[in-house]
Amino acid sequence: MQQKMQKLKDILAEMADLKGAIAVLGWDQQTYMPNGGTEARGRQSGTLGKVEHEMATSAELGRLLDELKPYAESLDPDSNDARMIKVAARDFDLATRVPSDFVVEQAQITAMANQAWAEARSKADFSIFQPHLEKIVDLTHRYVGFFPPADHPYDVLLDIYEPEMKTADVKKIFNELRPKQVELIKAISRKTRIDNSFLYQSFDEKNQWDFGIDVITRLGYDMNRGRQDKSEHPFTTGFSLNDVRITTRVESDFLSTMIFGSIHEAGHAMYAQGHSPELERTNLADGASLAIHESQSRMWENLVGRSLPFWEFFYQKLQEKFPQLNLVTLDNFYKGINKVEPSPVRIEADEATYNLHIMLRLELEIGIIEGKIQVKDLPEIWNAKMKEYLGIEPENDALGVLQDVHWSWGAFGYFSTYALGNLISAQLWENINQDIPDLSEQISSGKFDDLLSWLRKNIHSHGRKFMPQELVKKVTGSEIDPAPYLRYLKDKFGKIYGL
């Protein structure tokens, strides 16, 4: 059996190499590739994707997994080999349902769609992106059709990003969360408004960049195994354990975008840099799910990066970069970066309103999959939902339906993981503070080693060994629970707004 196990590892290693090469092409397209290369890049990605898919669905791999399943049952169920076989069998089942020709077509269509989205967003014109999105929606319906009927067709898409999570489960969590967050937002709206105008000044872009690099390296992002570049929409991608890259966006007249965008993506990247070396070039060298990934990025961005102890250490350094902040006290700066005010843009939304952005997108995606919403009607429906959920309407399509890149990638089923990640981050945070009782003091001293070590041990090192709900329960004692996040919001904003 050891020979067969080694054969499986060899196949998985080659597939990992192909996925890494595909990721390099995607990173280049988002950062440095000239616009004229889009069509060729789609073909290149499609070809490599086809080769990887053919390996992932080969009869040889299927026979090997059938032979190894009894062996897996004889192992410690939490051992790397047992989990590797289990995850490989799940991946094989999913992959064999999707034809290789579909994989090629999807790569080509999304490459063109991504370029069209960038143009449409820059011109605030949805009509440029609409025909491409219609093709993607058609692809998405076809993808769902490859699988047996689920309780809800959206389950098939959600499972891509959040394994074993059901649409009904997400709706239940959101239905519990929504009224309590709305209640909090209403209570805050009755209080004196916070002034954060000092964030909207002219800030030298190089100084922003240098400050951001200093922050993320102090947090623990290893620049010897990563780099940061600019892109239209911030993202993280990894080609190996030792090459995990992030991008960010810099705005010359708004300070928060670059700082918190970089911290957010560094949170993703530190997770990817923290997988056990034993998992490298295997199917386990990845995150447990996108919600687990988002728990890491949102934790570093918000629970750490928007905390008072964090700025007790970093604020003087920020003032040295930007003397125009010298007249802004630490207390006012802290309140300013945590101001609660409905925003049309998700990635700039405050913690109290952020989840409502996700709930809106989930509702739209479910409507599209159910056939109740047509692509051509999305801008109008988006704006109406923004009015309903947040009481505001976007000024244009760029601030509305075009603000997120995900649909151009064909990533339907993705958005709910952001909100789920928020919930998980707070669950983990309560446990972290029990295990590291002086965490606040450490953060205010610029020390993040203990926090990162805790995450490495309990989350990062496991990679993809455990299902997301299983991992959360192992660490916190319960599955995803909105209560800790609500406690966190009420405590934090209760103090800021005197509730």
Residues pairing with 248 in the sheet: 230
What SS3 class is residue 251? strand
What SS3 class is residue 244? strand
265 is catalytic: yes
Task: Give the helix ranges, DSSP H, for 436-466.
Answer: 439-444, 449-458
Give the C-alpha separation, 119 to 394, whole Å: 18
Whether the CB-CB separation of 188 and 493 falls below 8 Å is answered with yes
Alpha-carbon torsion (145, 146, 150, 155), positive or negative: negative
* 226 token code pair: 């990563």
| Residue 395 φ/ψ, nearest 5 degrees | -70, -30
Residues pairing with 228 in the sheet: 246
How many other CB atoms are there within 10 angstroms of residue 329's CB atom? 11
Cα 453–456–460 angle (5° rounding)? 165
What SS3 class is residue 200? coil
Contacts 24+ apart (CB under 8 A), 283-286: 283/12, 283/15, 283/16, 283/84, 283/87, 283/88, 283/91, 283/464, 284/80, 284/83, 284/84, 284/87, 284/463, 284/464, 284/465, 285/16, 285/241, 285/463, 285/464, 286/463, 286/464
Give the C-alpha separation, 27 to 240, whole Å: 13
Give the C-alpha separation, 358 to 361, whole Å: 5
Whether the CB-CB separation of 244 and 269 falls below 8 Å is answered with yes
Q: Which of 52, 162, 265, 363 is catalytic?
A: 265
Alpha-carbon torsion (325, 326, 327, 331), positive or negative: positive
| Catalytic positions, written as ranges | 265
